[in-house]
Amino acid sequence: MTDRLDKILGHKGFGTRKDVRRMVRAGRVLVNGEAANDPGLHCDIDRDEICVDGEILSLEKNIYLMMNKPQNVVCANKDGLHSTVFSLLDDEYQTGFALENLHLIGRLDIDTEGLLIFTTDGKLTHRLISPKSNCPKTYFVRLEKALDENLKKEYEKKLEQGFYIPPEGNEAEFTCLSSKVEFTQKDDEVFLTIVEGKFHQVKRMFAALGNAVIYLKRVSMNGLKLDDSLECGQYRKLTAEEVELLSRDL
Ligand code: URA
């Protein structure tokens, strides 16, 4: 995959687009041994050698992984008590570029399972977790109380409208945005799609409706579905198509 030279250098921390353009026009940047001159030149970081002020850049490709998170592991880099999701990754992700840059796109509670994305792509993370992004996340939810037809109608309406969620501990109250519920064959199991990511959000939403979540699993994010061949704790790289899907603008 190719990208503009000024974009590549900007991501590598050589300054703003303007700074980078100036550097390129001043002949300080060589691509495959020749002065680039054009900041818009398309380069392939897997093939082209980019040299700035006589030093060859090491350009690492971003990493994108999906894991089926198991219960009883925490979404943190370190935890004194529990294993972390990072400890489930192979050695190749425990050193160098990966160790320094790999992070999660959104976290899941210790008792939540399902789709967890690891990446080194900070820009994508920033975009997807920004409150303005409205990134849809779908959860499979098992409820304590089964729903009859009246309750289903009531839930559907309230979830579509949004409603008041009381504070929890230090977490502030809020009014949840419109969400979409899909009922299944079983009266105590639903899919819920939300576009926010507040602390304990799904659990707090159902608690506010007078029910309780007894099992929670994230099954998709921004249209990217959890690969159901992944056992709990297993992970794999995303394909190029999956990265594109996850990165799409809504
Ligand atoms: N909502 C929750 O309550 N918990 C999660 O882990 C994710 C969404």
Per-residue pLDDT of the chain (250 residues; tens, 9 = 90+): 788 999 888 877 788 888 999 999 999 999 999 999 899 999 988 788 999 999 888 777 789 999 999 999 999 998 999 999 999 999 999 988 888 899 999 999 999 999 999 999 888 999 999 988 999 999 999 999 999 999 999 999 999 999 999 999 999 999 999 999 999 999 999 999 999 999 999 999 999 999 999 999 999 999 999 999 999 999 999 998 999 999 988 7
Q: How far is the CA of 199 from the centre of ligand 1 (A)?
A: 7
Active site residue 109: yes
Q: How far is the CA of 200 from the centre of ligand 1 (A)?
A: 5
How many residues are given for the chain? 250
- Token pair belonging to 169: 């501990």
Cα–Cα separations (whole angstroms), residue 157 to 52, 87, 153, 201: 58, 42, 6, 18
* CB 138 within 8 Å of CB 193: yes
CA angle 95, 98, 101 (to 5 degrees): 125
Ramachandran assignment for 162, one of left (phi > 0), alpha (psi -120 to 50 degrees), beta (any other): left
Q: Which residues contact 235 (CB under 8 A, 6 or more apart)?
A: 65, 66, 67, 68, 88, 89, 118
Which residue's CA lies nearest to atom 2 of ligand 1?
200
- Class (C level, CATH) for 2-56: alpha beta
Residue 166 CB partners (closer than 8 Å, separation 6+): 173, 204, 208
Class of domain 137-221: alpha beta
Q: Where in the chain is the domain with CATH 3.30.70.1560?
A: 137-221
What's the 239 CA to ligand 1 centre distance in angstroms? 26
State whether the beta carbon of 109 lies less than 6 angstroms from ligand 1. Answer: yes
Q: What residue's CA is closest to ligand 1, atom 3?
A: 200
Instruction: List, by residue range, all CATH 3.10.290.10 domains of the chain.
Output: 2-56
Residue 200 Cα: closest atom of ligand 1: 3
Q: What are phi and psi of 241, to 5 degrees?
A: -65, -40
Q: Is 200 in the pocket of ligand 1 (CB under 6 A)?
A: yes
**Does CATH number 3.30.70.580 belong to domain 64-131+225-246?**
yes
What whole-number distance in Å separates Cα of residue 28 and Cα of residue 192? 53
Q: Is the CB of 107 under 6 A from ligand 1?
A: no
